Amino acid sequence: MRPILIDGSMGEGGGQILRTSIAISAVTGRPIRIVNIRAKRSNPGLQRQHLTGVQAVATISNAVVRGASVGSTELEFIPGELRGGSFEFNIGTAGSVTLVLQALAPLLFYLPGPARIIITGGTDVPWSPTIDYVREVLAWFLRKLGLKVTINLQRRGHYPRGGGRVEVVVEDPPGSIEGLELPERGGIVRFGMRSHCVNLPQHVCERQASSAERVIRSHFGDAEVRVELEPRSDGLGPGSGLAVWSYTEKSVLGADSLGEKGKRAEVVGEEAAVKLVEDLSTGAALDRFMSDMIIPFLALARGRSIVTGARLTRHALTNIEVVRLLVPEASIQYEGREDGFFKLRVEGAAITRK
- Tell me which residues are annotated as active site: 315
Other Cβ atoms less than 10 A from the Cβ of 335: the count is 11
* Cα–Cα distance, 28 to 147 (Å, whole number): 18
55 among the known binding-site residues? no
- Strands 64-66, 75-78: pairing is antiparallel
- CB-based contacts of 222, cutoff 8 Å, min separation 6: none
Task: Classify residue 289 by its DSSP letter.
Answer: T
Which parts of the chain fold into alpha helices (H)?
Answer: 15-28, 48-61, 97-108, 131-133, 139-144, 202-220, 265-281, 290-293, 295-300, 314-326
Question: By C-alpha distance, which of 184, 177, 158 is closest to 298?
Answer: 177
Helices 15-28 and 48-61, packing angle to 10 deg? 0
Which amino acid would we find at residue 137?
V
- Say if CB 128 and CB 172 are below 8 A apart: no
Q: Give the full edge-to-edge strand order of the sheet including 115-121.
A: 85-90, 115-121, 164-170, 149-155
C-alpha pair distances (Å), 332 with each of 284, 290, 299, 323: 18, 16, 7, 9
SS3 label, residue 174: coil
- Say if CB 57 and CB 21 are below 8 A apart: no
C-alpha neighbours within 13 Å on the C-beta side of residue 233: 2
| Binding-site entries for ATP | 102
| Binding-site entries | 102
